[in-house]
Amino acid sequence: MSSKDGFSDSIANRYALALYELCEENSELEKAESQSRNILKLFEESEDFRSLVENPTNKKDEQINVIKEIAEKFSFTKILSKFLCFVCEKRRFFFIKKILNNFLKICSKKRGEVKAILKSSKELNPSEVDLIQKELSETFTSKVKLDYVLDKKLIGGLIIQVGSVMADTSIKNKLKQIENKLIEV
2 pLDDT more than 50? no
Both 34 and 123 in a single domain?
no
pTM: 0.69
Q: Specify the CATH number for the domain of residue 58.
A: 1.10.520.20
Are residues 100 and 16 in contact, defined by beta-carbon separation less than 8 angstroms? yes
Percent of the chain with pLDDT over 90: 36
Residues 118 and 43 in one domain: no
Res 68: pLDDT? 93
pLDDT (tens digit per residue) in 125-158: 889 988 888 888 888 777 888 888 888 888 888 8
Per-residue pLDDT averaged across 156-168, rounded?
83
Count of domains for the chain = 2
Q: What's the domain range around 150?
A: 114-184
Q: Is residue 71 located within the same domain as residue 148?
A: no
Same domain, 171 and 101: no
CA distances to 13, 36, 169, 170, 174 from 162, in Å: 23, 24, 14, 16, 20
